[in-house]
């Protein structure tokens, strides 16, 4: 009999969630994480949680500065960066302990070691061999750096979290999600931020209309942009750094290289185990099976959807397929993407541009937050909801930019997952005054029936 029914390599939101699901199915489960300080994976230790903790601190600062607009008199707030960092670290440490406690409570054996495939379903754990009925690979991803001279002088999304002070100026290389979230944090803290992006649009594959509006809002805050620009080098310049790019150069105290992540698939023994990869990502089928027998893979390492919640979703599917007689396939149609900028952005399904490229005959509805009562009450009127439907009115995608967009998208995910029409979504009663009313109004606007904006010209 094998030592375990399932061995999981990696304890991120894919790995630890999968391990708990497996244990609750009655399986004997082992989970490996290579360092004691990394339980919970990148998301918990360097990604989702610490960055959003800093986002919240920046939002509180913004709210205090705006207090006078609400009739509340306060002194000019001061930034205590050390306290912000301390709070961030406490949140991370508390959640890391929580993940460990959950694994222990479910009877999962936690092993601190680098796991490598050792043939069949055996895993080598720093000298200890583990034999299991199935193996689940959830090694996550690592920072991907471009081949640019001097790139090592810049910060990464991991190392920027350890800054000992707020920089006076910051160049962000990369206008994707990570880059724009940090640009938002530091611009609210008073840093002069410049963003350099190789593409002609920020936050691809976000709806271009929404991306353009977001750029305008950030520019209004003082963030500078160089789009369609390729970085050619980073060098020291006085006490700071100089970034050369096609079209010019810019100096700053710090440089953040936010050019994405790549699957963390090195030194896993994949080739020897017969596990196929493509461009560094583990190849899986719809049931999350690799080309190796009884070997499954989930999360960033598969490059299917490099989001924490997608990894958790894949983990449950892979465990079900590995340990039961059921066969479930992953469906990525309704996986939401959330961007914690100011204002927040979230989307699910197809954008208008993607739908048109796919040959759909689309109908589009829009509703601005500036026309929403709850937004006016909150003083957060920037943004809009955009609904994309096919010619018969069935939902293809929704994009939200505005206050609490990352919470609001849950309704859009459910609507898309169920497969309803824009008219059916609009018919659902939405409480007043609330932010979700913007979704209902945008859905009404697909048919030109939005109530709280001027009627379309016919």
Angle in degrees, CA 35, 90, 9, rounded to 5? 25
CA distance 146 to 107: 42
Cα separation of the two ends of the chain: 73
Angle between helices 405-418 and 437-445 (to 10 degrees): 50
Two tokens, residue 53 = 């903790």
Looking only at the bridges linking them, the beta strands covering 337-339 and 141-143 are unpaired
| 182-208 per-residue burial string, b: 16 or more CB within 10 A, e: under 16 | bbbbbbbbebbbbbbbbeebbbeebbb
CA distance 350 to 432: 28
Please pick, among 309, 427, 432, 452, the residue that the annotation labels catalytic: 432
CA distance 138 to 7: 10
Looking only at the bridges linking them, the beta strands covering 224-227 and 277-278 are unpaired
Instruction: Report DSSP letters for 412-430, one per residue.
Output: HHHHHHHT-BHHHHHHS--
CA distance 388 to 212: 18
Is 21 labeled as catalytic in the residue annotation?
A: no
Q: What is the 3-state secondary structure (H, E, C) of 19-86?
A: HHHHHHCCCCEEEEECCHHHCCHHHHHCCHHHHHHHHHHHHHHHHHHCHHHHCCCCCCCCCCHHHHHH
Q: Is the backbone peptide bond immediately before 274 cis, with ω within 30 degrees of 0?
A: no
Instruction: Report DSSP letters for 223-253, one per residue.
Output: -EEEES--EEEEEEETTEEEEEETTEEEEES
Give the closest residue to 196 by CA, choosing from 219, 228, 221, 168.
Answer: 228
Q: What are phi and psi of 14, to 5 degrees?
A: -85, -50
Catalytic positions: 432
């Amino acid at each position: 009999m094998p030592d375990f029914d399932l061995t999981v390599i990696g304890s991120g939101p894919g790995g630890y969630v999968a391990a708990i699901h497996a244990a609750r199915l009655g399986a004997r489960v082992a989970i490996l994480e290579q360092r004691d300080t990394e339980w919970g994976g990148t998301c918990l230790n360097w990604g989702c949680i610490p960055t959003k903790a800093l986002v919240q601190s920046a939002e509180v600062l913004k709210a205090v500065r705006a207090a006078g607009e609400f009739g509340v008199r306060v002194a000019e707030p001061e930034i205590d960066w050390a306290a912000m960092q301390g709070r961030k670290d406490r949140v991370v440490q508390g959640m890391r302990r929580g993940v460990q406690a959950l694994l222990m409570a479910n009877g999962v054996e936690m092993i601190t070691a680098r796991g490598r495939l050792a043939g069949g379903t055996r895993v080598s754990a720093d000298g200890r061999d583990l034999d299991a009925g199935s193996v689940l690979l959830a090694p996550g991803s690592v920072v991907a750096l471009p081949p640019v001279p001097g790139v090592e002088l810049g910060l990464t999304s991991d190392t920027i979290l350890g800054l000992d002070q707020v920089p006076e100026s910051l160049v962000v290389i990369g206008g994707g999600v990570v880059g724009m979230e940090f640009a938002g944090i530091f611009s609210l803290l008073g840093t002069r931020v410049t963003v350099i992006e190789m593409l002609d649009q920020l936050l691809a594959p976000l709806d271009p209309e929404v991306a353009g509006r977001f750029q305008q809002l950030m520019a209004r805050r003082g963030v500078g942009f160089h789009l369609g620009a390729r970085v050619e080098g980073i060098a020291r310049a006085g006490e700071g750094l100089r970034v050369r790019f096609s079209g010019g150069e810019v100096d700053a105290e710090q440089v953040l290289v936010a050019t994405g992540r790549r699957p963390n698939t090195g030194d896993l023994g994949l080739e020897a185990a017969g596990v196929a990869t493509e461009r560094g990502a583990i190849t899986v089928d719809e049931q999350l099976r690799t080309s190796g027998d009884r070997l499954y893979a989930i999360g960033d390492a598969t490059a299917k959807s490099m989001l924490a919640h997608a990894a958790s979703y894949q983990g449950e599917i892979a465990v079900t397929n590995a340990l039961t007689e059921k066969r479930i396939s992953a469906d990525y149609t309704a996986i939401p993407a959330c961007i914690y900028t100011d204002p927040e952005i979230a989307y699910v399904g197809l954008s208008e541009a993607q739908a048109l490229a796919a040959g759909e005959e689309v109908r589009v509805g829009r509703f601005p937050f500036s026309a929403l009562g709850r937004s006016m009450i909150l003083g957060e009127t920037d943004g809009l909801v955009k609904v994309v439907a096919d010619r018969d009115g069935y939902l293809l995608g929704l994009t939200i930019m505005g206050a609490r967009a990352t919470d609001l998208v849950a309704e859009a995910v459910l609507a898309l997952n169920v497969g309803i029409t824009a008219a059916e979504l609009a018919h659902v009663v939405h409480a007043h005054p609330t932010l979700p009313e913007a979704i209902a109004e945008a859905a009404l606007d697909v048919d030109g029936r939005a109530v709280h904006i001027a009627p379309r010209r016919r």
